[in-house]
Amino acid sequence: MNLKEYNKKAFEQLLKIKFIMLFLFSLHANAQIQRVEPPFWYAGMHNHEVQILFYGKNIAENEVAVSNAISIKAIQKTENPNYLFVTIDTKNVSAQDILFSFSKNKKVTFTKKYALKQRKENSASRKSYDASDMIYLIMPDRFANGNPKNDSEKMLAEKADRNNPSGRHGGDIEGIIQNLDYIKELGATALWPTPLCEDNDPQGSYHGYGQSDVYRIDPRYGTNEDYLRLAAELHKRDMKLIMDYVTNHWGTAHWMINDLPTYDWIHQFPGYAQTNYRMTTQFDPNASKIDAKMCMDGWFVKSMPDLNQSNPLVLNYLIQNAIWWIEYADLDGFRVDTYSYNNKEGIAKWTKAITEEYPNFNIAGEVWMHDQAQMAYWQKDSKLAAIQNYNSYLPSVMDFTLMETLANVFKENQSAWDKGIINVYDNFTNDFLYPNPNSIMTFVENHDTQRFNEIYKKGFKKYQMAMALIATVRGIPQLYYGSEIGMAGNKNEGDGAIRLDFPGGWKGDTHSAFTKSGRTAAEQQFFDFTAKLFQWRKENEAVHFGKMTHYIPENNVYVYFRFTDKKTVMVVVNNGLTTRNIETKRFQENIKDFKSGKDVLSGKLIDLKSEFMIEAQSVLLLELE
């Protein structure tokens, strides 16, 4: 053997030894490292520092180094030796695999490969949902069971039991994907499923708000790859995916709860104390400190430990998790649960960090309050909040006052100073409080409220009036699954009653409301109206971002206009029990030179020269010509 061949053989042997050593290191790492979060990251982020959580038995005893000239900015250890938080700087670093080395006494004991992945093109400038969209809200467990094989999961506590109103029924991501064309046919352009991440609570886990792993889709819904497929299928249909994100709390089964990184990772009293639910304490200048603390720091319920966003490690974890999902699943927006229960300063930093990374990204916060000023306080750039030197940076809030008004107004058939449709008018008189009224989410019901069709006993005319309002006033309309087929259910019988299985979503259902041939006559009536309304809305810029002028209701009839320079829509809602004459002279400010209006719903042409009739308990949507 000559020297050249010898060197070649020696080099090959060294490579084999190196490979074996790396393999052994990786085996050791797998034993030593139980979790890495985020599991990977992305190159080219606006905030180029990422804090990586390494979890494993006594992992903090190790020193850490990283390959490829990556800079370690900080290594943070806590009182729990099973955690290491390592912050690296990815500025000007291309997508690649890097290697973390863990060592004791200057000797490497194991390594861990970590991927920096390539971002999608124009990821930072992604377009989010806005007032041109209609959002369809579903509870995935109750929508459709596309894959019965994943109804139960051996490693997760709660098994499927469709006979239990509070149990898991088997709806999943595959069921959603199979029915996306149905959702699109309704005129929906965005989908909001309630949380899909793993929730390992022993009971009631179907709603998903007590999450046990925020980097993993619950196997009873599918896999992470299924969630990516859902996003891709929506995008193929020019539709958007909104993630229901929970910053305020996790579930007691979350993997960290029994081995907290720090004692103050969650709020402790010590242990459990429940919130007082008094969100007004967050801005009330007269509130006691203890009341404000119990609102923010108290647990929402006993099974949901309250996260401490004032702890920088917790806050950074939540920011990175949210950004990871946006990049990984190509998300189009967030809805944030229990927004105003969070640490006030912490949630503002969380929201600001996300919207700085994605300037067009919309986030709607659940601020369930009963006064417009109190809700407006939480919207980005609120002048009300500025009085207290506060800015939530939250682009969108949910219009709970309008929802509550619509739940009562159609019972008030006789008008009075403070009764009847005047209450809808009054809701909009307070729009001056909102920094951006167009970015408010409007709805008649959601997964936590009484069903609209239960309140009004499936009264189709009342449904028409309410939905026409939601479709034509300012803001982003949201439709809760089943409304469009007249689905009812009494919340007083438990949450399961307002979260019923969608008919036809399960093999063996008596009928399917997903198809025209499967719907009952009543279901078809609701569906046809809803689809016609929101398909029309899709293409009408006047009701997306147009200005609004409304007129004080007379005889329980409300008239308003949405208009741009190119288009005008006149809406007439008669909440009374008798047919009414509408004299057009009063509305000349908006009618101007228009001669007629074509009713979107009936196709009839209405002469606007002097007066026209509107039937009792009905609505006219007139495109002026």
By annotation, the residues acting in catalysis are 337, 366
Q: What residue type is 130 in one-letter code? A: D
Secondary structure of the chain: what % helix, strand, coil (to 5)? 35, 25, 40
Q: Dump the DSSP string for 512-579.
A: -TTSGGGS-HHHHHHHHHHHHHHHHHHT-THHHH-EEEEEEEETTEEEEEEE-SS-EEEEEEE-SSS-
The answer to whether the CB of 266 falls within 8 A of the CB of 251 is no
Phi and psi of 534, rounded to 5°?
-80, -25
> What residues does 480 pair with on adjacent strands?
137
| Count of helices and strands (H, E) across the chain | 16, 26
For residues 225 and 247, give the distance between their C-alpha atoms in angstroms, rounded to a whole number: 23
Beta bridge partners of 112: 100
CA distances from 194 to 155, 156, 470, 503, 607 (A): 22, 19, 21, 19, 46
Q: Give backbone dihedrals phi and psi of 292, rounded to 5 degrees, phi first.
A: -65, -40
* d(C-alpha 468, C-alpha 460), whole Å: 12
Which helix or strand (DSSP H or E) is residue 422 part of?
Answer: helix 422-429
- Write out the two tokens for 585: 């002279």
Cα(326)–Cα(320) distance, rounded to whole angstroms? 10
Q: 78 CB contacts (<8 Å, ≥6 apart)?
A: 60, 85, 261, 262, 313
3-state SS assignment for residue 341: helix
C-alpha pair distances (Å), 20 with each of 24, 25, 66, 102, 106? 6, 8, 20, 17, 21
Beta 96-104 vs 396-397: how paired, if at all?
unpaired
- Return the axis-axis angle of helices 400-409 and 422-429, rounded to nearest 10°: 170
DSSP 47-60: S-EEEEEEESTTGG
Per DSSP, 301 falls in state S
3-state secondary structure of 356: helix
> For 165, what's the count of Cα atoms within 13 Å in the CB-facing half-sphere?
12
Angle between helices 344-357 and 312-329 (to 10 degrees): 30
